[in-house]
Amino acid sequence: MFRFGHFSGGVHPRGNKNTHFYPTVRLDKFATVRIPMSMHIGPPCTCLVKEGDPVKVGQLIGRADAPMAVPIHSSVSGTVKSVLKEVASTGKAVQVVVIESDGLNTVDESVQPPVITDRASFLQAVWDSGLVGLGGAGFPTHIKMQPPAGKEPDVLVINAAECEPYITTDFRQCAEHPDEVIDGIIQVMKHLGIPKALIGVESNKPLAIDVLNYELMKLKLSANLEPDISIVRLKTRYPQGAEKMLIYSLTGRKVPAGGLPHDVHVLVLNVGTVRFISKYLKTGMPLIRKRLTLDGSAVKVPCNINVPVGAPIPDVIEAAGGMTGEPGKVIMGGSMMGVALDRLEASIIKQNNAILVFDQKEAQLPPETQCIRCARCVNVCPMHLMPTTLDNMSRNQDIEGLNQYHIMDCIECGSCTYVCPAKRHLVQSIRIGKMHIRSAPRAAQAKEGAAK
């Protein structure tokens, strides 16, 4: 199919898609799960259970009290061992429900297929399902589906680009469940009234393109259905899967600075998200399991696994074959944008799409040297910023300069840091710069207050 355009810049890191051909393995034998009460970007949920309570699979244990919050369900059946407060890797304290599994996985009675009559009931069902964007950011999907008036989407963009090295879960999703992927898209289009859908897949996953096209063909031949869904082959270039780049590559529309996809009448959903919607509408089983890629130099058997939300990472790695030695770095997410954990003892959360474990050698950071102004960072920046200038300004806390050089438009894709021959920590510096900007009004207020 005709490709609309291609964003400028970007990098081409080694794919490391070692798990491309490894079917997803379901892992279930976890003695305990630890479910945090905040796995979305909104306010945390109110915990509904206490020590000693029996719970079943799919039972609501965290109630969403704010529209930006997303309900949380138990991923196993068993007994609540404790409810405790823990400091998460993000530095924030969160409530964690520790559940001892009885190994039976008894399903809760409340798990029933939702009754969808109209748009409102569909949105309610999406909210009740506990769904957050499965691409990694954890944005509540039901919020995304309700744009402000006048910004209703006319295109549904499905993100199956999977441009991050190592990760192959989106590809496996397409390869193993193409029927549910297409069904999910049709459901979203139907209930939200979106006439057209585009699925973006990078050119290094031809199999995904083939199976999805085959699925569309089957629909046409067996049910005489011809939904307006196109599968688009995209150039393999990081960060092709970044929302703004993907929208531009597929539709030629540019999301305005500081804007969201709905500003250009687009709704972007991850391929895993639509597949989950399809499954949820059929079974009513909320989001309690997560498919992810386990890879990295310290992992004995790179693989794709399907595990209950809340499964402790050490147990997951053990169950999947263990490690080759002492780990040097554990990353939640991909190697370009993932978060390095300060300890192994964390849980799998809803928006996890990978756990990467690097050995000691791979974890070593090269020493930072002086910038030689080679402009590689400027050339690869998909947002057309000047990372090296921002780096300098951030280190000098030059708030005015940072704004003038558009720091807030940085999507933190890491392309600049990846190519830097001087090995400068550009993204880190830019993140600190953004913090300076966010705290600037507060600092000014404090100063004013002190002066009074």
Partner 1 sequence: MNLQVSSSPHIRDQASTTRLMLDVIIALLPALGVSIYMFGVRSLLIVFLTCTTAVLFEYLSRRLMKRYNSIGDLSAVVTGLLLAFNLPPTVPLYIPVIGSFVAIIVVKQMFGGIGQNFVNPALASRIILTLSFPAAMTRWAILAGRVPGHGIPGTEPIGEGLDLIATATPLYLIQAGETGQAIMPGYLDLFIGYKGGCLGEVSILALAAGVVYLLIRRVISPLIPVTYILTVAMLTALFGQDPLYHVLSGGLFLGAFFMATDYVTSPLSHKGKIIFGLGCGLITSLVRLFGGMTEGVSFAILFMNILTPHIDRWTIPVPFGGARHAKS
Report in angstroms how near the CB of residue 355 gets to partner 1 at its nearest.
13
Rg (CA), the chain: 22
Please report where in the chains the tokens 């951030």 appear, as a residue.
Answer: 394
Interaction mask 338-377, partner 1, x per CB under 8 A: xxxxxxx-----------x-x----xxxx--xxxxxxxx-
Q: Which of 100/263 has CB closer to partner 1?
A: 263
Report in angstroms how near the CB of residue 260 gets to partner 1 at its nearest.
11
Report in angstroms how near the CB of residue 360 gets to partner 1 at its nearest.
8
Q: Which stretch binds partner 1 (CB under 8 A): 25-33, 126-134, 186-194, 400-408?
A: 400-408
Cβ contact 416:377 at 8 Å: yes
Cβ contact 135:351 at 8 Å: yes
Burial class (CB in 10 A: 0-12, 13-18, 19+), 33: buried
Phi-psi region of 52 (alpha: psi -120 to 50; beta: other; left: phi over 0): left
Cβ contact 68:40 at 8 Å: yes
Phi-psi region of 129 (alpha: psi -120 to 50; beta: other; left: phi over 0): alpha
Beta-strand relationship, 354-359 and 155-160? unpaired
Report in angstroms how near the CB of residue 379 gets to partner 1 at its nearest.
8
Quick one: CA dihedral 123, 127, 128, 133, positive or negative?
Answer: positive
Q: Give the pair of three-digit tokens for residue 263.
A: 């500003």
Report which of 138, 144, 128, 141 is spatially closest to residue 40, judged by C-alpha positions: 138
Report in angstroms how near the CB of residue 267 gets to partner 1 at its nearest.
18
Tell me: cis bond preceding 239? Omega within 30 of 0 counts.
yes
Among 33, 188, 197, 255, binds partner 1 (CB under 8 A): 255
Among 76, 189, 385, 393, binds partner 1 (CB under 8 A): 385
Q: Segment 295-334, which members bind partner 1 (CB under 8 A)?
A: 326-331, 333
Residue 386 interacting with partner 1 (CB under 8 A): yes
Q: Segment 97-156, which members bind partner 1 (CB under 8 A)?
A: none
Report in angstroms how near the CB of residue 19 gets to partner 1 at its nearest.
16
Q: Which of 101/429 has CB closer to partner 1?
A: 429
Among 336, 349, 354, 355, binds partner 1 (CB under 8 A): 336
The H-or-E segment that residue 195 falls in is none
Q: Segment 45-104, which members bind partner 1 (CB under 8 A)?
A: none
Q: Which stretch binds partner 1 (CB under 8 A): 11-19, 210-218, 226-234, 267-275?
A: 11-19
Residue 337 interacting with partner 1 (CB under 8 A): yes
Interaction mask 402-441, partner 1, x per CB under 8 A: --xxx-xx--x-x--xxxxxxx-x-xx--x----------
Q: Segment 165-224, which members bind partner 1 (CB under 8 A)?
A: 165
Please report where in the chains the tokens 């794919």 appear, as a residue.
Answer: 15
Q: Which of 279/434 has CB closer to partner 1?
A: 434
Q: Give the pair of three-digit tokens for residue 1.
A: 């199919």
